Structure 1
Amino acid sequence: MPVRVMLVDDHEIVAAGLRVILQAEHDISVVGKASGVKEAVRRATELKPDVVLMDVKLSDGSGIDATKQIKEACPETQVLMLTVYDDQETVLKAVQAGAIGYVLKDIPPENLIRAIRSVHSDRTMINPVIARKLVERLAATERDAVLFNFRRGPGLTERELDVLKGVAAGLSDKEIALKLFLSEPTVKSHLRSVYQKLRIHNRAQAATYAAKNGLGT
């Protein structure tokens, strides 16, 4: 089955160009598009795409707000931000809203295709330069205070911590399973427990949480 992608961008020429690039791939199908928050949420709810390619600024508001609403209505849909904004605050808000990936519009087409396939497989895809800046910011401002609460609060088991560290390192479930000598279903079970205890929803949020608490190194 092809990856079903919905485009959300308020510039028609950008959306048209993206459609041409994506439709050239045999395993990707563009199933719809939207230019504003309300339209994006409505269309995503109707179409339930696998991946939404989302800009930050839309015709009637913020793509971050749209992301939050889409994730609430369609938890299985993954959101990949595609934008020109690379400031740490915007990236952090997007991840907190539920985006699993964040790339810039100067990304080469082949890398965008790779990013779409990655987020569809539930793997985090964040521009490396942005990711480094984000981790540095979190480390400088929040790590000490959050680490204390992290260790005392959620009550993760040692094995759940090991799985979380694997996610922070960018490993897939299969790679984590091999590293920890576990079955892949067991890793998925531990990860669901981590999500529940930390009140998060995807790997991007898990990786961000781990970085904030010094588990990503």
Structure 2
Amino acid sequence: MVIRVILADDEAMIRAGVRSILTTDPEITVVAEAADGREAIELVRAHRPDIAMLDIRMPYLDGLSTAAELRAVAPEVAVIMLTTFDEDDYVSRALTEGATGFLLKAADPRELIIGVRAVAHGAAYLSPRIAQKVIARLSDGRLTRADTARHQVETLTPRERDVLALVGRGMSNQDIARELFLSEGTVKSHVSAILLRLALTNRVQAAIVAYEAGLVGANRPRPPTPSA
């Protein structure tokens, strides 16, 4: 599988650096580059990549607004935010706008490849520093959110709960399929049903619900039943 990526950043040097890192992986190719959000949207329409990697701060149309637009015009394209900033507001807005990855420019370059590969295979990926902040925020008032999350999870079927628990562990559809002895297509259907039933936008939000509901760290999911 070749992972096709579009880069959007208003700094040419940053684009060149990110491209050089990503293309060290033979399964990743950068098909186009944009200097602003409007150009990124046009390139996504033209190339239909697997991933759009967007800087948050860009002229004309910033990364967050671009992500929101892409969710409407190309929902099949995964979005990764690449930024210097890790403020809570940026993280919250990025996840709300449908981003499934959030990477920091100051992070280890290997994180770029790890994040792209994870998102391309259907998982969500947050830089460890970002993940720590998200978990810390979840810890504040966790009991109230935990009750809400548990009520949400109760609306799911047992197999959907199994899938949600593994999404919460950051597993891709392929990994979940192997873990539960299901086809990847069946896993995709379960994930879509979970997002629809819980009124969620993306896998990151689903993983947060799994964490709050206590599914993450639970016992290994049951083997599949004939009706799975």
- Cα drift, residue 34 of structure 1: 1.5
Q: Which residue of 2 aligns with 1:108?
A: 108
- C-alpha separation in 2, matches of 1:178 and 1:43: 35
Q: Which amino acid aligns with 2:55?
A: D
For residue 51 of structure 1, what is the aligned residue in structure 2?
A: 51
Cα distance in structure 1, aligned partners of 2:170 and 2:138: 18
**Could you tell me the TM-score, scaled by structure 1's length?**
0.87
Aligned counterparts of 1:74 and 1:65: Cα–Cα separation in 2: 14
Q: CA deviation at 1:147?
A: 3.0
Q: Partner amino acid for 2:70?
A: I
Structure 2 stretches lacking a partner, 5+ long: 218-228
CA distance in structure 2 between the partners assigned to 1:172 and 1:153 by the alignment: 20
CA 1:209–1:66 in 2, change beyond 3 Å: closer, same or farther?
A: farther
Alignment match, 1:140: 140
Which segments of 5 or more consecutive residues in structure 1 lack a partner in the other structure?
none
Change (3 A) 1:107 1:145: closer
CA positional deviation for 1:100: 0.9
For 1:39 and 1:154, how far apart are their aligned partners in 2?
43
Rounded to whole Å, the distance in 2 between the matches of 1:202 and 1:194 is: 10
Change (3 A) 1:26 1:184: closer
Q: Which amino acid aligns with 2:198?
A: L
How many correspondences in the alignment?
217
> 1:152, CA displacement in angstroms?
5.4
Give identity over the alignment, percent. Answer: 35
Are residues 160 and 130 of structure 1, via their aligned partners in 2, closer, same or farther at CA, if it must alter by over 3 Å?
same
The equivalent residue for 1:62 is: 62
Partner of residue 211, structure 1? 211
Task: State the distance in 1 between where 2:16 and 2:162 align.
Answer: 43
Distance 1:123 1:51 in 2: 12
CA shift, 1:99, in A, is 0.9
Cα pair distance change 1:106/1:147, threshold 3 Å: same
Q: 1:208 to 1:145 in 2, by over 3 A?
A: closer
Alpha-carbon distance, 1:9 to partner:
0.6
Pairwise CA distance, 1:89: 2.4
| Alpha-carbon RMSD | 2.4
Q: Which residue is equivalent to 2:188?
A: 188
Alignment of 1:69-80 (within 5 A): 69-80=69-80
More helix by share: 1
What is the aligned partner in structure 2 of residue 14 from structure 1? 14
Q: What is the TM-score with the length of structure 2 in the denominator?
A: 0.83
1:125-170 per-position Cα deviation (integer Å, ceiling 9, x unaligned)? 1112211221221231465146337515882122212211111012
CA contact (8 A) 1:7 1:30 kept: yes
Asked if 1:3 is matched to 2:20, the reply is no
